[in-house]
Amino acid sequence: MYSFDPTEEQQMLIDAVSKYAVNDLRPAAHDAEESRDLPKKLVSKGWELGLLQASIPETYGGFGERSAVTGVLALEEMAFGDLACTLAVLTPSLYAMPILLAGNEEQKQEYLPKIIEGNWSAYTAALIEYAFDFDPNTLKTVATLQGDEYVINGEKAFVPFAKEADAILVFANLDGPTQGFIIHKDAIGVTLSNEREKLMSLNSLPLYRVKLENVKVPSANRLGGTAGHDFEPILASMRIANAAAAVGVANAAFEYSKNYAKEREAFGVKIAQKQAIAFMLAEMRTEIEAIRLLTWEAAWKLDQGKQDAFSEAYLASTGATDMAMMVTDRAVQILGGHGYIREHPVEMWMRNGRGFATFTGLAIV
Partner 1 sequence: MPIEFEAPKPITQAQFMLKTVSEEMIRPKSRYFDEHEHEIPWDFIEFMQMAMKATGGSSLAPRENGSNSEEKERRPPIAYQLIATQIESVAWGDLGFYHCLPGGALGAAAIHAAGTPEQKEKFLGRFKDEKPTFAAMCITESGAGSDNSAIRTRAVLDEKTNEWVINGEKIFVTGGDKSFSEYEKLGKGFIVVWATIDPSAGRKGLRAFVVESGTPGVRVVKLEHKLGIRCSDTAAISLVDARIPFENILGSPTVEKTTTGFKGAMATFDATRPLVAASGLGVARAALEFLKEKLTEQGVQIRYGLPRQKLTSIERDVIDMDIMLKSAWLMVIKATWMADNKKPNGLEASMSKVKGGDVCVKITQKVVEILGPLGYSREFLAEKWMRDARITDIYEGTGQINRLVVARQILGYSGSELR
Residues of the shown chain interacting with partner 1 in the complex, contacts defined by CB under 8 A: 1-7, 10, 69, 132-135, 137, 258, 261-262, 272-273, 275, 278-279, 281-283, 285-287, 289-291, 293-294, 296-297, 300-301, 304, 310-312, 314-316, 318-319, 321-322, 357
| Nearest to partner 1 of 86, 321 (CB atom) | 321
| Nearest to partner 1 of 162, 236 (CB atom) | 236
The least CB distance from residue 195 to partner 1, in Å, is: 26
| Nearest to partner 1 of 2, 267 (CB atom) | 2
Amino acid 63 reads F
3-state SS assignment for residue 270: strand
| Nearest to partner 1 of 67, 203 (CB atom) | 67
HEC string of 128-197 equals CCCCCCCCCCCCCCEEEEECCEEEEEEEEEEEECCCCCCEEEEEEECCCCEEEEEEECCCCCEEECCCCC
Query: Which residues have a Cβ under 8 Å from the Cβ of 150 and sit 6 or more positions away?
Result: 143, 144, 174, 181, 216, 217, 218, 219, 222
Phi–psi pair at 358, nearest 5 degrees: -120, -15
Query: Which residues have a Cβ under 8 Å from the Cβ of 360 and sit 6 or more positions away?
Result: 127, 128, 136, 235, 238, 239, 242, 317
| Nearest to partner 1 of 119, 275 (CB atom) | 275
The least CB distance from residue 290 to partner 1, in Å, is: 4
75: closest CA among 244, 274, 214?
244
Quick one: DSSP state of residue 222? B
- The CA distance from 39 to 44, in Å, is 9
Distances (CA, A) of 31 to 42, 43, 117, 348, 354: 13, 15, 31, 12, 21
The least CB distance from residue 94 to partner 1, in Å, is: 19
The least CB distance from residue 288 to partner 1, in Å, is: 10
| Nearest to partner 1 of 154, 319 (CB atom) | 319
Please say whether the beta carbons of 180 and 361 come within 8 A: no
Torsion from C-alpha of 156, 162, 165, 167, nearest 10 degrees: 10
| Nearest to partner 1 of 117, 135 (CB atom) | 135
Please say whether the beta carbons of 74 and 81 come within 8 A: no
The least CB distance from residue 176 to partner 1, in Å, is: 14
The least CB distance from residue 103 to partner 1, in Å, is: 23
The least CB distance from residue 131 to partner 1, in Å, is: 9
| Nearest to partner 1 of 174, 315 (CB atom) | 315
The least CB distance from residue 294 to partner 1, in Å, is: 4
